[in-house]
Amino acid sequence: MKAPILKGEKIILKPLAISQAENFLRWIKDDEVSRFLIIDGRGLTLNKEKEYIKNSLTDKSKLNWAIFTDSGEHIGSTGLHDINRKNLKAVWGIFIGDKNYWNQGLGTDVLKTVSKHCFKKLKLNRVELGVFPHNPRGKRCYEKCGFKVEGVKKQAIWKNGRFIDEIIMGITKDDYKKLINK
């Protein structure tokens, strides 16, 4: 589906467009970024990426955004995958590809903005994500937004020549309501 424009405190999310494929590809092929991602950028080409973006615009199970700073800089991507209308749940993912913008609260702002959209607009009941044990920054960011560790899938992902555990974190609508009414 084409994602709506969403505004956070420090970021603006705009629907991921084919014109952003080049940045997307460059970041996903950057080892310092991709070491935290489940997606493997090695086989990805610009044409494949453009095709993915084009197809995702009509795929009802996906919503993809490009992340912009409030001064208009394109710094990364975020998206909901596997949006499931029967079980009212989705899987969320993010990367800030421009490393100059790490650790400034932008990831937290993105997740708060997307969570609000998930629970208030899409009326989902649950959002989940996977994070690697070697990504404490990501884990901390998600905890700040109310996501809780639900378990660990042992050796779930083959990456850089080894199997890596995947920590599963999630938040339910009930927990989200408690969080925002605090």
Ligand X SMILES: CC(C)(COP(=O)(O)OP(=O)(O)OC[C@H]1O[C@@H](n2cnc3c(N)ncnc32)[C@H](O)[C@@H]1OP(=O)(O)O)[C@@H](O)C(=O)NCCC(=O)NCCS
Give the whole-angstrom CA distance, residue 125 versus residue 176: 9
**Largest Cα–Cα distance in the chain?**
46
Residue 33 structure tokens: 């970024």
For residues 123 and 158, which CB has a smaller minimum distance to ligand X in the complex? 158
Q: Can you give the binding site for ligand X, defined by CB under 6 A?
A: 33, 36-37, 76, 94-96, 102-108, 131, 135-138, 140-141, 144
- Return the H-helix or E-strand segment holding 159: strand 148-159
Minimum CB–partner distance for residue 147 and ligand X (Å) = 11
Residue nearest to ligand X (CB): 107
For residues 49 and 109, which CB has a smaller minimum distance to ligand X in the complex? 109
Q: Which of 57, 123, 135, 63 is nearest to 88 (CA)?
A: 123
Minimum CB–partner distance for residue 170 and ligand X (Å) = 13
DSSP state of 40: -
For residues 70 and 174, which CB has a smaller minimum distance to ligand X in the complex? 70
